[in-house]
Amino acid sequence: MLYDVAIIGCGIIGAAAAFELSRYDVSVVVLERENDVATGATKANSAIIHAGYDPDPGSLMASLNVRGNALIRRLCSALDVPFRQCGSLVLAFSRQEQAQLESLAQRGEANGVKDLEIIEQARLRELEAEVSDKVIAALYAPTAGIVSPWELTLALVECAVINAVDLQLENEVLEIRQSKGGFCLQTEKGPVEARYILNAAGLHSDVVHNMAAPPAFRIIPDRGEYYLLDKSEGERVRHILFQCPDRQGKGTLIAPTVHGNLIVGPNNEPPRFPEDTATTAEGLAEVAGKALRLVPSLNLGECIRTFAGVRAGADTPDFIIAEAAGTPGFLDLAGIKSPGLTAAPAVAEMAAALLVKSGLALRAKQSFHCERSRLRFANLSPEAKRDAVRLNPDYGRVVCRCETVTEGEILSSLRSPVPPRSLDGIKRRTAAGMGRCQGGFCGPRVMELLARETRVSPLAIPQEQRGSFLLTGETKAGR
């Protein structure tokens, strides 16, 4: 089969592109080398929907940030994705940093960000009582928010699949050759032919680009380490708290999450290799020091998990969204670092427009499906919980006690358009294993359900990526 478009990579950018193209009467295949979507930078970031005051005016980052901020609100509403417009505060500790707030506000106004305001100590205290008393002013951006990045990705991909996009997991692209019809992509499962290619391969987008076109950019990954705090700390702050940005970026932040936790981080350091998501004592100490400067009362002893994410920045200051020179039909969506999560739907719109410019006809489907809902048992009223159990007794069996996730929710995820293949895949879809014990109690039962529903031996079930097995063999009674 000759597809109209092949999308390489299924993080938030590839997912948004697949969703956008599924609106049209074209054939699309998504090729993802991992066993699930959203397993790279998309699952390990700050989960912030930025207002848009940070990027330089006139850049793609600036225009796509502001456009994406508006689009994500609508998408989250339509696709039942957790989102909260909590607003953000950039904190200034000196007159020099206060002047920097003025520059950020002017930049934001030039970018079209609404309702920006520089506030003094008294007003700041009304918004955030536990911010350091050394903070003298803050830039308040009420349009900033928080989201579940992996659930947004899943929602976009599920709708794309429902609208006839072909998602192929565990199918890495190994080689790209130009052909008479466009391109032949040699994958680990065989050849795939497509007229056009969207390169959304994240950390490996320079490698994928070089398969099809002369080298044009280089990905320079950087790692950020985080603390995830228990829900007992979840209301310590109500807004996203930033330090004043420096040459390395937006710096360490403290923010609530849509799940009720508190996230603290990141720092900025070079990884040893592109997928190096290890945490270090030195890195976490750096994050802790910077965070406590913002909120001295922060209780890092309530940490339930530390993690790291690797960002796919490029050797260019802006996003790379363009047709590759000398290779018509091959489009790069690369160098998508912060605010990439926010900008993703707008990046997808731009990619679709570039495909049209390159010759692809996009005719809107008459039967495009753009709805999704998920039952979150823990959030239901007592009456709604009784009704859910009455209709399906599986919702009456709690599997994850920390997050009150039921067997019904896990089974629903396993029967979804994009079912999980790993324990972490179920965690991202249902929150089972995301609480205080991090799966210590519910993990065996989740594995049992996954094995039963997929008819796969528990020995073959990974924690996350292919090969990350928890069990290595069986013991016989009496030995």
What residues are annotated to the active site? 50
Classify residue 282 by burial, with Cβ atoms within 10 Å: 0-12, 13-18, 19+: exposed
* Beta pairing partners, 88: 141, 240
DSSP per-residue letters across 82-136: -EE---EEEEE-SHHHHHHHHHHHHHHHHHT--S-EEEEHHHHHHH-TTS-TT--
Q: What is the chain's Cα-based Rg? A: 23
Q: Residue 168: what are its φ and ψ, rounded to 5°? A: -120, 100
**Where are the extended beta strands (E) located within 258-319?**
262-265, 303-311
| 3-state DSSP percent of the chain in helix, strand and coil, to 5 | 35, 25, 40
Q: Which two tokens stand for residue 88?
A: 């953000």
CA dist 184 and 195 (Å) reads 9
| The pair of three-digit structure tokens given for residue 245, joined into one six-digit string | 């940005």
d(CA 172, CA 9): 9
Cα distance between the two ends of the chain: 54
| Closest to 155 in 3D by CA, of 349, 9, 371, 421 | 371
Q: Report the alpha-carbon distance of residue 307 to residue 277 in Å, rounded.
A: 7
